Amino acid sequence: MAVEKARICLVNLERNCVLESVKAAIESGVPATEIVLGSLSKAMEEIGRLYENGDYFIAELIEAASIFKEAMKILEPRLKEEASRLKTTRRARIVIGTVKGDVHDIGKTLVAIMLQAAGHEVIDLGVDVPAERFVEAVEKYHPDIVGMSALLTTTARYMKTVIEELERKGLRRSLKIIIGGAATTLEFAREIGADGWAPNAIEAVKLVESLMGIRDE
């Protein structure tokens, strides 16, 4: 199956195979969200584990991210089309970023795309974002929600630092905080004082709208 082949090829860093498999999956009618969440994202999680175990290094992570982004160029129009069906009557403003020490932007970028397609305003701070930048963004943009991502367990702990800094600045009560990424779980979200956790981009959209009390049209 093309979706499974795309996952295997991405783990093995086979660029052409990934792109051909993605195109084949689309042509066979597989939804773009399924290709991303059921194949490419799982591959990236596996690559993250290979990195943590010392089997892959920074060079492999960079190559994997490059292949993923190229595949996303093919998938993005369809992702936006699928996410547009989730449009709501009221928009939320979300500041989003991958936390300090973590340079993985794939999952975070996918969440941003899906949120924007669903009609929300997203301020993307990028990767390796320190607590001070989250604080500055909250003070500048006055978002409804702050979203944080981390792929590695070694960097996920920094999310608590961000929350503590927002609390210290008196900003925590005015917003909701959500987290995601391969290194996070619902239990971890509760442990660090976040308001919610999403396992993937589709669930992130649902979580944002649930926290905001937004209902479908």
Q: 202-215 pLDDT, tens per residue?
A: 899 889 989 988 65
| C-alpha–C-alpha distance, residues 38 and 17, integer Å | 17
Q: Using pLDDT thresholds of 50, 70 and 90, give the confidence band for residue 48.
A: confident
Q: Using pLDDT thresholds of 50, 70 and 90, give the confidence band for residue 217.
A: very low
Tens of pLDDT, residues 101-158: 998 887 888 888 888 877 789 999 999 999 999 999 999 999 999 999 998 888 999 9
Answer for the pair 144, 116: CB distance below 8 angstroms, yes or no. no
Tell me the pTM: 0.71
Fold agreement between 2-85 and 87-211: no
| C-alpha–C-alpha distance, residues 199 and 156, integer Å | 14
Average pLDDT over residues 195-208: 91
User: What's domain 2-85's superfamily in CATH?
Assistant: Methionine synthase domain (1.10.1240.10)
pLDDT confidence of residue 195:
97
Q: Hey, what CATH topology would domain 87-211 get? A: Rossmann fold (3.40.50)
Tens of pLDDT, residues 56-69: 988 898 898 889 88
From residue 148, alpha-carbon distances to 5, 15, 213 in Å are: 30, 29, 20
Virtual torsion, Cα 68, 123, 48, 2, nearest 10 deg: -30
**Would you mind telling me the total number of residues written for the chain in this entry?**
217
From residue 84, alpha-carbon distances to 91, 189, 201 in Å are: 13, 28, 13
Placement of tokens 């649902």 in the chain:
206
- Helix axis angle for 41-52 and 58-83, nearest 10°, is 160
Q: Residue ranges of the alpha helices (H) in 84-124?
A: 106-117
| Annotated domain spans of the chain | 2-85, 87-211
From residue 80, alpha-carbon distances to 112, 113, 117, 118, 166 in Å are: 11, 7, 5, 8, 32
pLDDT confidence of residue 57:
87
Query: Max alpha carbon distance in the chain (Å)?
Result: 52
pLDDT confidence of residue 141:
96
